[in-house]
Amino acid sequence: MLEDMRKCYKTYNFIAVAALIEEVQAAANKMEAALNDRKDAIDYHEMRSQLKKECKALKKEIKQLREELDEQKEQSGRPKKDSSSV
């Protein structure tokens, strides 16, 4: 495309330049979209990693709270329920 544009400029044949400019613009738009897609993929990967960390921390907190609840139930004399079903 660019070589064709150079030929048009050298020969002063500007009739085809408009079509060539459109082709270059379309190619540039595709490249820009690919860059944006790559950035989005990187952002989603980082977000996923962060959410996995948060999920792990929340599961740990749930386990700790269940253990505390079981201890409180034992102290109050209530029978202990099986909390491993979650």
Kindly report, residue by residue over 3-55, the tens digit of the pLDDT: 877 877 777 777 777 888 888 899 999 999 999 999 999 999 999 999 999 99
pLDDT of residue 82: 61
DSSP track, 3-57: HHHHHHHHHT--TTHHHHHHHHHHHHHHHHHHHHHHHHHHHHHHHHHHHHHHHHH
More confident site: 15 or 59? 59
Answer yes or no: is pLDDT of 79 > 70.
no
Answer yes or no: is pLDDT of 67 > 60.
yes
pLDDT of residue 84: 59
Listed by start position, the domains of the chain span 2-69
